[in-house]
Structure 1
Amino acid sequence: MARPKSEEKRLQLLHAAAEAVAQRGVGAPTAMISAMAGVAEGTLFRYFPTKEALLNELYLHLFGHMCAALAEALDPAQPLVQRARQQWNAYIDWGLAHPSWIRAINQLAVTDILTPQTRAAELSLFPDLGLVEATSMNSGLFQDLHPAFDDAIIIAIADATLDFATREPARAAEYKLSGFNAYARIFLPSS
């Protein structure tokens, strides 16, 4: 008789997978993930039928945590640009607090591993769909390119912001503002 699955062990596996993906990318072997979680590789496959299933669940798990932080910072009564800035600052602050999680999310976000179901679920988790719609409508410069290209541009700006804010914590607010200004010029409608 199979032992019941434990939520604690599932979370252990997800957090180990986040660390492994942050270190080695989506090519991180399941043996590494299992070892980091302190379980046998067979245990990983009791919880996740495939590595792709693990990575899709990992993405939604981490993305959900990030969106919870964004939701706390959201004031829907604010105009679009102010909401975008609130979301940007919350994203950067969350990334500074969870560096391996943000690296894992960013690695996964630009791969073809994420299923259409995961992409649909991702959108449903984001706390400000009006911001997503305004951003995608304004980013017409990317319309004929791979759908992940605009995500990759945002991630590159955010990564640079996170990198410099980490190097110079006393200037983190300046880097957040400059990073936001770069993001806004590309993705937000001009006022």
Structure 2
Amino acid sequence: MARPKSEEKRQHLLHAAAEAIAQRGVGAPTAMISSMAGVAEGTLFRYFPNKEALFNELYLYLFENMCASLAEALDLSQPLAQRAQGQWNAYIDWGIAHPVWYKAINQLAVTDILTAQTREKELSLFPDVALVEAGTKGELFGHLNPDFSDAVFLAIAAATLAFVAREPARAEEYKLSGFKAYARVFLPNA
């Protein structure tokens, strides 16, 4: 009789997968993930049927965590531009607080590993869908693959985070400049 699955072990596997992706990208082997989690590779496959399922579940796990941070900073009574700045700051702060998760989620975000179901669930988790739509439906991105606008956003955020990490005393300046760059690209009419 198979032993019951442990939520703690599942979480440990997800955290190990995030660490492995942060180190080696989406090519990180399941043997590495298992080893980092301190379990046999067969145990990983008891929890996740394959690597793609693991990575999709990891993406949603990280995305949900990030969205919880964004939701705490959200005030829907504010105009779009102010909401956008609050969401930007919360996103950058989340990335600073969780550098491994930030790196892993961003590597997963720009791959073909994520399923259509994961992408649908992703949008339903985001606390301010109007903000996403404002940035992706406009003149610059509306006619293109949505992954392109994601990649542009991630590039601006990555530059901001790199400089915040390099010069923490100037974090607020970099966050503001990064937001201004984001707003010019994604919210030109806000």
Q: Which category of TM-score, normalised to the shorter sequence, fits these structures?
A: over 0.9
Aligned 1:142-161 pairs, distance under 5 A: 142-161=141-160
Aligned 1:106-185 pairs, distance under 5 A: 106-138=106-138, 140-185=139-184
Contact 1:165 1:172 in 2 (8 A): yes
CA–CA distance in 2 between the matches of 1:178 and 1:189? 15
Q: What is the TM-score of this pair, normalised by structure 1?
A: 0.97
Instruction: Show structure 2 runs of 5+ residues with no match.
Output: none
1:100-137 CA distances to partner (integer Å, 9 max, x unpaired)? 00000100001110000000000010000111111112
- State the match for 2:25 in structure 1: 25
CA–CA distance in 1 between the matches of 2:143 and 2:188? 19
**Shift of residue 144, structure 1, vs aligned partner:** 4.2
Instruction: Show structure 1 runs of 5+ residues with no match.
Output: none
CA–CA distance in 2 between the matches of 1:104 and 1:77? 32
- State the match for 1:46 in structure 2: 46
Q: What is the TM-score of this pair, normalised by structure 2?
A: 0.98
1:56-75 CA distances to partner (integer Å, 9 max, x unpaired)? 00000000000000000001
Contact 2:136 2:146 in 1 (8 A): no
1:68-112 CA distances to partner (integer Å, 9 max, x unpaired)? 000000011000000000000000000000000000010000111
**Shift of residue 51, structure 1, vs aligned partner:** 0.2
Aligned to 2:137, what secondary structure does the other structure show?
A: helix
Contact 2:80 2:131 in 1 (8 A): yes
**Shift of residue 141, structure 1, vs aligned partner:** 2.1
CA–CA distance in 2 between the matches of 1:14 and 1:121? 18
- State the match for 2:185 in structure 1: 186
Aligned to 2:121, what secondary structure does the other structure show?
A: helix
How much identity, in percent, do the aligned residues show? 76
